[in-house]
Structures are given as C-alpha cells and as structure tokens.
Structure 1
C-alpha cells in the first residue's frame, strides 16, 4: 500500500479561510505531555505538536522560502554569524489557530463492561385475545342429585286479543218462499250415537336414570293435600227426555231489501265510480251503500253491546216451516254475557250450509304463559351396565368431631339392661367374655 490517506480538497472562495486538516480538542483535564499531533515511524515519534503549541522534531526543520518568524515579529531568512546571546524571555502564547478538520473515525475500541440492569419497562398493552381453543371432551356424568321440591303452579297467561273478522262472502240470490207444508208427525227419538274412537296413546317418555337407594328415613308428617287430579272422561249421555208441546208459529215478517257487502276499503277515495242497488263496502267500521247515484255512509253498523235481558219462559213449539234461504251473515257483535241455560228444545232439521266467509287475519299471538308444573316422574328405568371405576378422588378435609357418646357398660354387664351379669344369671360362675 503506497499510502493510508490520500486527501484531496478544493478551495474556491477567496472570502473563506479554509482548513486542510482541523482538529479541535476540548481540554478539560489532561497531562502536560499531551500532543495535538504525534507522527511516528516504527513507534518512534518524529514530529510532535504539544497542546501548548510546541513543535518538536527529531530531524532537521527546513525552510526553503520565507525563513522563520520569531515571537517578537522578526523574520530571519539566513543564519546569524554573531555570538548567540542568551535566550530571551518566553513570549506570550500565540493566538489559537483555527480548528482543524475532523480526522478520520478511529477503530472501534474494545467493548466496555456490562452495565447495570435497567429499570423494568412499563407494561405493554394487552395483546389481542387468542383464538378460542377447541371444546374439551365431556367429563364423566356426576352422580344424580336429589329431586328438588315441586314448584308452585304458575299463573295462567293472559288470553291474546281476538283476531279481526274476515270479510263476509257474497250472498246468493234468495229463492222464492215456498208454501207452508203440513206439520209432520214427530218421529221417535234417535238412539244415542256410538262413542268416538279413543285417541292414540302418546309415546312413553324416556325413562329417567335410576338414583342410588338412600337410607330409609323416619316417617314424615302427612303432607298437604295435592292438587286436584285431571278431569275424568265425560260419562255416557243420558236418555233423551220427553218432547215438549209444540208452540204456536209466529207471524212471518216482510222480506227485507237485499244487501251485499263486497269488501273492506282503506278510505273513501277507493270506492268505485258506480254500483248496483244493495252494494256496500266497509271503511273504518262504517258501511257505505250505493244509493241510486252515489255512495252513502249509513254509519257504523256495530252498535254498543246491550245488557243481557232476562230469559223469558219457553213457549210451546210452533209448526215447523220449510227451511228458508240463508241470509247474509251480519258483522259479528261483541260477545254478550252468558245467560242461564234454557231447557233443551226439540232438535230441528239441519239447515243448508251457507257459503264460507273469507278467513279473518290471524290475531297477534298472546304472551307466553308461565311454565306449568313439572310432570310426574317416569318409572325407574333398568339399571345400566356398571361403568369403569373412576380414580379415587383426593381425601376430603377432616370432619368436625362428633359429640362424645355415653359411657359404656362393663363387659360383664347385660348390654340391654346394664345389670350385673352374676346377679341377672347366677348360674354363671364367671363373667362372660
């Protein structure tokens, strides 16, 4: 290697005082032999520049031009031939030169000793929750606990509101009224029909696990009376009573004008432009009827519920007339209070089945009732196969010391009476062991 450092710089501004090499040392404490510059060959110093500015060289210091300038300001360009006088006093320290350029970075020094352990850092933020692990295998089934006390019967839930009545179907044309026929002789009462087929028996519930047999406890006090049992099946119908006398037939009323409710509309604006006599629509509870040239609101056709009248005495049965055509179904009124049950009349002929009305919308579901009582416990199932014996559990804590028992009798005494054996049975010459 021809050189270690081969530095090149360019000075190109006459207004700046450049430095080729600048070293600025902050000397807060150092030995007097400290040097700003120490040039060596084979470990031997050749030129040194001390921290006070003293330049020491082991060889010749040569000035080819300009000579040497001394502290008093004089410059000597040639050597003096006169007698060398005594050394003058040391001049004042010269002005500190400008700091040289920063030298190259030295080699990395050896690693220092390990420092003391630092303080514990602040706790880091909690990490995100890990993915949930898979569900472990189900453990063995524990022993069955004792049956809990039967809970009280819950209150019956409130009944949901009644659904809206469906739209009435169209009424068929009324047939002509037939002549009243002669009253036929009353036929004998029909025999009671056979009882309906009994429903299919429900499946037997799963048998509960057999509990361990507990020790027989003392007889408990008589418990309160249990709830009333399920209502039994209805008994067979009794024989029909004798037929009452037939009442006088009432006067037939005049035939009313036909009325056909065609449907329900949301507002008056949905009414058709024209209609036929008897056409009607329901709008918000009011009945709109076609009256020759326009639709007329005849009002709300459902009046307030009247009080239930007293039941009158049953009159004699009149002559049975022919079955008339079924009239249009009226709007359902509010349910009145239930009156007392009257005597059963003679069964009339079955009328013709009317047209089925449009099904009403289903009302909102009522709130769920309170959970009923738990059903009776099923019969004890067959004992299952004995499972493998489980591992012995850890020993439990020692129980509380029991109450000290009464002092026992001597072993020669009768255990049931406490009397001395020799007195009780003098035939024994010695005490039994």
Structure 2
C-alpha cells in the first residue's frame, strides 16, 4: 500500500510550502529520501533527485480526515477500502479514520484486523480504524477498548447511533480515560430526532417532519457534564448547531478535554438546499439554519471548532433516489473537502494556514498519529494543489463508487494536482 521500497530521492521544487504544525509558510523546496522528509528550505538540485516542479502550487501536509465511512466489510456495493482510499488520494487526503458501523460492526479484534489487512492489500492511503464504544453499536455493553486501542484503533465511536444511556456514557468516559482514548459522539437525543430535516420555516413550507436544534445541543450539554465528572476525552462529530458551539466553547474555557469537528456541507449549506426535495441534501445531523451556519463559521474563526472532517458517507442510487424521508442519510465528501474548505479562506473566515491545520495537524494530534506535518524525519505524506484553479464538481467523475454529492454542479476553486504517501505518488490530476 503506502510503504513501498523506495530508492530514489524526490525534490518538490519551488512551491509555497505551508506546514501549520510548525508555522511554516514560505516559498521552498521539499526533499524526500526513501519516503521520509529529509529537508525543507532552499535546496540545491542533484542529478540523483527526481524533480516535481511546484511553482504556483501550495505544498502542504497530506490531509487527515478523522470521519470517513469506507463501508468495508459488509456494504462494498456502496464503497470499499480500495475505492474509498482512491477517493481520498484524489482529494489530497493521505490518512483516514474509518468509522465502525460496518457489517459486522468494528467492535472486536477480528474485524479490526480484517480492515487493517484489506487496507494493506488494496488501500492507497493510510487507514486508521475507529472502534465501537459499545458492542454492536447497541449502546449497552462496552467493548474492550483497551485491547482495541492496542490493536490499532485511534478512537472510539458508536457513530450514527449516539450513546444515549447516561450511565453507559459515564462508564465509557471513565474506562477510556485509563488509556487516554478519544470518544467521538454522534450527538443526538433520539427522542427528539424523528424528523428528516432541520425543524424550521423550510421544513414547514415543504411539509417535512423536522429535527430541532435541541436534539444535538441537549446531548452535547449532557456529555460535557459527564466529561467534567470523569475527565474522559470527548469529541463531538459533525457539529451543526449554534447551541452546541456555545457549549463546546464554554467547556474549552473551563479546560475540559472537549473538541469538535464540522463538515464542509454544514458550514457551506443551509436547510434551503433541501428545497426541491433533493435527497443529496439529506444527512444526519441535517443541514441547519442560516443562524446555525453562521455560528459554525464563527466557531472556526475563533478556534472553538478545530477540525474539518467530511463524514464521507457513500450510498447507492437505490437508497438515495427515493422519497425524501425514506432516503439514506449522508453524502460523499473526500474529493470536495479541500476546494469547499478553501472558500473559508476566500471569505476571510480563516487564514490558509489555519484552514489546512484543521485538516492536518489538528486531527492528527487528536487521533495520536504521527502525520499531518512536513517535519523533517516524518513520513512524506504530501499534497500539492493549485489554490486558484476553478472547476465544476461532477459527481459522475469521482473516484468513489457512490455519487451522492451535495456539491454536484458547484463551481469551486482549488484543485489537487498530486498526492504522495510515504514518498509514493498515489494520485496525479489528469486534467479531468
């Protein structure tokens, strides 16, 4: 996969090198030897080097997406590790954390081992399993998180099923604290979540049952209280509401080990995207109001929200091209992560370095993996992209098996030109 026998040296020459982990932003060269970053700066060319010309391009750490559904094992007709990692490479993503809602659930050593072996066989980027918090994602009996972490799990989550029992969540936080594991919660109060889109003016106009913002904020409030009680590390997946942003901000001010992520679709779209009953605008949590979206932008600008993740959720046509309320939740996002996130830079919400940090060193640190940086001595996971190239998103041309993109037809700026994993080129833009 990403650990080939390398004998050549590669010089990435003349790009704008941005490494947020070390505050670097300068025109420089990057020397890679045997898959490892050897030097960064103004370097001299030698005949032994293969040169990648990067003038006019940004050279950055390969992106780290901490919320991806690869669907293998069990739903390979939607996505598998081979296709999902190809999509990641096309999006400049070199490390993915794959969620445990597979079939069977990633709740024991055998499934984790299977995922790791399949990643070695067919993956083109790094794959880090996220283990389940409870067996079968049933919210009742805790998994052997300690053993799963030693086997390679970088975090734990019941993903689309929140741990709704407060006693179980308390025990999970207490148990995970023993080995400093990160718990990722899909924050949703099930008794408030019977609808199929955000509850508001748009849902009333469309005649669709709504999901109030409180369905998220109630769960976040509860969990933060349990974090204060236990000291466990807690991360809110795909934050979507103003109230939840406020709760996370208050928790961080108190010094609690609380973090959160936001998806590109939640910070760039609102519930108005559902007008027309477009099922590619159906996800969980749902697209929210303009007020909520602005709160997400403010949270990114102020550093309350530290991670941008895709919640890449592939679904086949059969599960998406049905009545809105019956359609599966979720959209693909690996191949649009970078250009949609760059809109934050053009709109003045974040600097380019801060934006890249939210997709590289910040998630890497939360997961405890040694990636998301161009530090000398680290594996050469690198993305080269043209921040000014304009293109129209065409889901039909994406590497993912599924085509359920909410950004199909959107004009974006910023295109990945090459992606390297451990010094090996795993994606090159062919001018599609």
Please, what TM-score do these two structures have when normalized by structure 1?
0.17
From the CA coordinates, give the structure whose radius of gyration is larger: 1
Which structure's residues are more often helix, by fraction? 2
Which gives a bigger RCO, structure 1 or 2 (Cα 8 Å, sep 6+)?
2
Please, what TM-score do these two structures have when normalized by structure 2?
0.17
